[in-house]
Structure 1
């Protein structure tokens, strides 16, 4: 499971990737004022890209900042009453779980990322103390994409409704085995476009774990972990 990530890339850089493949991408809102280096956490708004027509994703895409922590279409209570941790969708049950199966069939998306973050308990760790941060990147450092799902719900406390997303997590991989037994599906742009194809391989494309060497792990000892606000306050 991954519940923190970064996208240290401006929208123009994301759009350039699609333009190189002659795939139109339009933005339906203005970019968030969030500092570009600030980690994205559950319930934050973050960039999601989806097909304008799900049947022909390469014909055109649209992007916007929406809530990370998917609330499914059938939820009618207020947002806080949706208690299920649905930031990640397990690969094994994404096509059968009531929370995710309709989104898997019809509402796929791409979530731009430049790294994701996992935490672990260092030796001697005690409850209430910071955990060790592991920031995971990939060779080349280019923008990649989580295999995302999105949904539109009508919470009782949101008159305009709510668009929200999650992304797929699958088997662990050798590079991350000491940290976690799950790994998000991290895609190149071409792999991402294949994910958007509703007639394509779908979740079967992620059934095998990433090979050794696919990721680089940077460890931040707990005494070095600072919030974005703390970093910005440094002289």
Structure 2
């Protein structure tokens, strides 16, 4: 499952795009210095958007909380759950999946996995459906919600994170909208894939 994503989205662009869908962005903790990064990994802090009093609040939070065994909960299965609280949007302009490389006769048995970048053509960024939770050891932290893979992802993984285009941003932040109406597999052609390793 997705354990790395990227974001090259600056504050001005983010504010503009959210205003276009009727979700003005507020910064209740001050305007953050958004990291522009090719590699946002588990336990890193990153930008999320949650419902706010005047639209949507952008804050920086940790990706993943410790699970019962101590392993990080960075992806969370969405099927059959409603999520009537804690809904957030995770800002990204790409995410990665990894596959085992094809075997090479006579070559080394252990080789680096192939790394694939998924982006949303025609969009400067997209959002990933997330869930925010407070854990005593780390405070507020988020995880990415997953579902069955759409046709763009299925050749690379048997699950996919829920990617949301702009038409679903406000719907996901509204707990009155049933989660299962939003948490869907991406239709064919939603994502472009590029091999980066």
Tell me if TM exceeds 0.5.
yes
Q: Which structure 1 segments of 5+ residues have no match?
A: 54-58, 73-80, 96-103, 156-160, 222-235
Q: 2:121 aligns with which of 139, 146, 169?
A: 139
Q: Distance in 2 between matches of 1:193 and 1:31?
A: 22
Q: Which residue of 2 aligns with 1:31?
A: 32
Q: Which residue of 2 aligns with 1:18?
A: 18
Structure holding more helix per residue: 1
- CA 1:123 to 1:205, structure 2 compared with 1: closer, same or farther past 3 Å? same
The structure whose Rg is larger is: 1
* Deviation of the 1:32 alpha carbon: 4.1
Q: Which residue of 2 aligns with 1:174?
A: 151
Q: 1:190 aligns with which of 163, 167, 182?
A: 167
Structure holding more strand per residue: 2
Q: How many residue pairs end up in the alignment?
A: 192
Instruction: Give the 3-state SS of the residue equivalent to 2:73 in structure 1.
Output: coil
Q: Distance in 1 between matches of 2:167 and 2:122?
A: 16
- CA 1:178 to 1:20, structure 2 compared with 1: closer, same or farther past 3 Å? closer
Q: Which residue of 2 aligns with 1:118?
A: 97
* Deviation of the 1:94 alpha carbon: 4.1
RMSD: 2.2
TM-score (norm 1): 0.74
Task: Note if contact 1:71-1:164 (Cα within 8 Å) is conserved in structure 2.
Answer: no
Q: Which residue of 1 aligns with 2:63?
A: 68
Task: Note if contact 1:105-1:198 (Cα within 8 Å) is conserved in structure 2.
Answer: yes
TM-score (norm 2): 0.87
* Deviation of the 1:82 alpha carbon: 5.6
Q: Which structure 2 segments of 5+ residues have no match?
A: none
Moved over 4 A (4+): none
* Deviation of the 1:15 alpha carbon: 1.0
